[in-house]
Amino acid sequence: MTGEAAEPSEPVAKYQAREEVHDLGEAACFTWGGALEGMRLTLPIVPTVCCFAGAIGAAAAEKGLSLFEATLMTAVVYAGVSQFVAIEQWTDVFTASTVIVLVASVAVINLRLVLLSAALRPWIGHLGAAAVYPTVMMISEPNWLIGMRYKAEGGRDAAVVFGSGLLLWVICVSMTVVGHVSGTLVADPKRYGLDLVTVLMFALMCVNFWKGHADTLAWCVAGASAVVVWWLIPGYWFVLVGAVAGATTAAFAPSISE
């Protein structure tokens, strides 16, 4: 018998790794300092978000929504791309069928927020309702990515996600007002490429999340699935299908690579 400790078996090593992740989650906290840090981390994307939110306000004005209606929509819905979809389908006269189509389209797109919120559960789930519910109310792709990157770099204050989301919400509501007042200045987002802002921002921020071939496979499956569904099925089902396909592939990718 030597004095060296035996190497843990593979199952034991995996169990220890899970325990380390669990301990990290248990060590999470929620402070105003973390919220301020989240706001600080959000500053580089503020100009982009301003343009995007301004385009929503201008598009709403072009469709005939009042300043109050446009501002209320951003303040309550706060869902980015799905707001553009709702505005595109807005009509002067609503029937039961148009309401159903509008609600279904927006609901399908916003199902992505369910996946983002679920991904935060291991980190913030134990913090209590006072921390969890305000955080998920503010969830969007930018602040979710900011929070997950912060956590991946060793951060533990979950209020980073809330603080980032709160700042983004204030900016979006304010710039919706500015965009509505400015009228048709940016009413056509495609003219300035603003319809691609969220996609490009999300893609750039995802770069640091790549950890190997398993991620590449999941991302490719998600993208390919979304393109196929977009080509074959009308509406915005490609958002949900791509997300589910990518998540499912990521769940099984480690075992496939082994």
pLDDT in the model for residue 136: 92
pTM here is 0.68
Distance CA 205, CA 201 (A): 6
In contact, 225 and 242? CB cutoff 8 Å: yes
Q: b or e along 47-76 (b: 16 or more beta carbons within 10 Å of the residue's beta carbon)?
A: eebbbbbbbbbbbbbebebeeeebbebbee
Mean pLDDT of 132-157: 91
Mean pLDDT of 140-166: 92
User: Which has more pLDDT, 241 or 14?
Assistant: 241
Distance CA 154, CA 210 (A): 16
H-type alpha helices, 77-196: 81-88, 96-124, 129-137, 141-152, 159-182
Poorest-confidence range of 105-109, 127-131, 195-199? 195-199
Collapsing DSSP to helix, strand or coil, 29 comes out as: strand
In contact, 237 and 252? CB cutoff 8 Å: no
Indicate whether 179 pLDDT > 60: yes
End-to-end CA distance of the chain: give it in Å, rounded: 32
Distance CA 83, CA 183 (A): 17
- Residues whose CB is less than 8 angstroms from the CB of residue 207 and which lie 6 or more positions away in sequence, other chains included: none
